[in-house]
Structure 1
């Protein structure tokens, strides 16, 4: 019997993507007819494969039409809100089999938690803390926009490097819902799910890696701290401090604290309360304060963590130019020269030192971090060439283990955090 013609919805109707065998079950997709790439993924309720088409990589997942439509719509809404989530690329309904295939863009340079944690020594809790901070930051962002995750876990999250921090990305939207606003109960439920799933995921991996039993209790304690991390960030974004009219200078401190965490303050309002007192209300936008500022100066589009590092380098260069000129050089003038004279040649050399693994901009951020760490150890600035040599020496030569500092969440440099214990 001839299978029913599939209903195809593609947001990128490119020739190679259109020519894929959308009328066949996903389990029958195989090379050489279909250009699949073998990518290790964790356990999944549904069959997932990765397809190369039109020089891009796509994730295709087979599921029921109802779930596929729901996940596609949720991912579209998350994209409209500019949240950290994989981008939906298409939806194919196969009526003859009552199945559907959801297509999403593969998140380049991303890893699952298993690959990250397998590379981290068990006695480095600060490295795991970065991963948990990234997950909590993602959950807070989702909740602020009315997104109930429903199945938040390590397995349903991808991670990318952004400077010396991690960025968590929402992947699986099967159980998710988008509301105008979430109730406290919905937020608590998501936090409880995340805490339990993170604990189970880390314990499962520790067992697989044959970690000693005493590590298990430590991992559970770290997972149980997720609620405190979430509460601290949520309250910072939603607190409404009250102060006297003459203490309006305190607004600057609140705004600066939010900016330092990367949040853009879009609006503040002061409401009179109790006579001469004022209550401060802050409307906070996305976490892109530094990246937005760098883009305004240089037209560069980078991650928030990368922008923080690059702006520090730019401002150091601005100080150098001002000293040479004997007068202040504006930030905009310094930025134009910095891109040409410092950033572009620097990122090319740093990327080459890492055998061109990862992105050039991340390689340059790693070079700056190495330079700072080694200079702290030496008690003086070691300079660009010495830092480049140190960066190059720390690249693993084993191609099977080549997750370099341009790729790994905390780098292959042991001293990436000098006060680690």
Structure 2
């Protein structure tokens, strides 16, 4: 029987509007005429989820049994401490008078639920779906490397956000997650993978049916889901390989490091252990996936995602080469970085963001501008320049079909580039 016991409220972002919400009432009884609730599309959930706007931000609120809510709150806090891609826990409200609790998380700005992405993906272009699956596999590998057993990895429990020309996946639901400081066993990892395959296949088929996609796409979706473990193992093996080779073949160390850097991973330590017969075993301690973002931050102080950093570093290197040709002298990394920020990045971000009508982030807008410029330049056989790219980005100039798709993506801020499909 409900009592009048007041709620226990813990908020990590205690703005006045968030504090003033009716935490003494069950979430189902919140009145939209009195509370700034927002309609946000979500997938199927075992528990009631509602969204509220307060203190200039959007918050997700989930009604849970108190024990489960505390457990999920603790897991999300530990994922945040480990800088893992997951939604951020913002509060926990225990409502003993109603025998329930409310978990508060910060809504991930610029993110998309897979249903909205899938609706824009043409059924005859599996490469589009492959990018979504690559993001999920990368997320699962990141979690497993840090000893996190997800337990319910599915499309419903994942959000996607653009990071340059790739998708970044984020864990949303951690109700069944477990953190093992000593790492996961192979059996635990394989169990998580089997859950992923089953959930992804079911989710994609259900949505394809709801969207009345052609029946012949179903076997293709099943094949794509069953291929996920192989994608996972390729990435896992690249991160944990310990090749053996003659000690004199140390050039292979550089190749291994470069492969990991190309995947976005920083390298913390390299060790060559003798194994006999003049051979050594290479072991590489791999850090977080922030190689390019750390490099850009070191040169410019700019904080961006790993995918965005890869694109921006390419633009920075091109600017440095332009400065060399213009002056006939070598240009230091620092000098080129300062010039690039002042003359390319900052004005380019503002202009691209204006061209897109203020949609999305300025950094992502500039990444979109760079790709549209590249597409137009490829078409013309010469550098098209920023003005033509800005006109195409803002829909003020005709473009070829490839550039049109890139522009459409940038305008809606929904997908990574799909122009190569």
Q: Following the alignment from structure 2 to structure 1, what is the Cα–Cα distance between the partners of residues 303 and 411?
A: 21
**Residue-by-residue CA offset, 1:208-262 (whole Å, 9 max, x unaligned):** 1111111111111111110000000000000001111111111000000100110
Q: Following the alignment from structure 1 to structure 2, what is the Cα–Cα distance between the partners of residues 391 and 20?
A: 41
- Assess if the C-alpha contact under 8 Å between 1:241 and 1:280 holds in 2: yes
- Assess if the C-alpha contact under 8 Å between 1:362 and 1:406 holds in 2: no
Alignment of 1:15-414 (within 5 A): 15-180=16-181, 181-393=183-395, 404-405=410-411, 407-410=413-416
Change in Cα spacing, 1:48 to 1:285, as seen in structure 2 (3 Å) is same
SS of match in other structure, 1:71: helix
* Match in the other structure for 1:398: none
- Assess if the C-alpha contact under 8 Å between 1:50 and 1:59 holds in 2: yes
Change in Cα spacing, 1:394 to 1:206, as seen in structure 2 (3 Å) is farther
- Assess if the C-alpha contact under 8 Å between 2:239 and 2:286 holds in 1: yes
Gaps of 5+ in 1: 396-401
Change in Cα spacing, 1:406 to 1:286, as seen in structure 2 (3 Å) is farther
Q: Following the alignment from structure 1 to structure 2, what is the Cα–Cα distance between the partners of residues 405 and 193?
A: 35
Q: Following the alignment from structure 2 to structure 1, what is the Cα–Cα distance between the partners of residues 416 and 281?
A: 41
Answer with 56-65 or 402-411: which moved more. 402-411
The number of residue pairs the alignment matches comes to 409
Answer with 136-145 or 3-12: which moved more. 3-12
**Residue-by-residue CA offset, 1:102-128 (whole Å, 9 max, x unaligned):** 011110000100000101111111110
Q: Following the alignment from structure 1 to structure 2, what is the Cα–Cα distance between the partners of residues 10 and 72?
A: 11
* Match in the other structure for 1:7: 8
Q: Following the alignment from structure 2 to structure 1, what is the Cα–Cα distance between the partners of residues 259 and 409?
A: 34
Q: Following the alignment from structure 2 to structure 1, what is the Cα–Cα distance between the partners of residues 143 and 416?
A: 25
- Assess if the C-alpha contact under 8 Å between 2:246 and 2:278 holds in 1: yes
Q: Following the alignment from structure 2 to structure 1, what is the Cα–Cα distance between the partners of residues 148 and 12?
A: 23
SS of match in other structure, 2:334: helix
- Assess if the C-alpha contact under 8 Å between 1:366 and 1:406 holds in 2: no
SS of match in other structure, 2:257: helix
Answer with 123-132 or 385-394: which moved more. 385-394
Q: Give the superposed CA RMSD.
A: 1.4
Change in Cα spacing, 1:406 to 1:298, as seen in structure 2 (3 Å) is farther
**Residue-by-residue CA offset, 1:159-208 (whole Å, 9 max, x unaligned):** 00000000000010000100021010100010010011111111111111
* Match in the other structure for 2:405: none
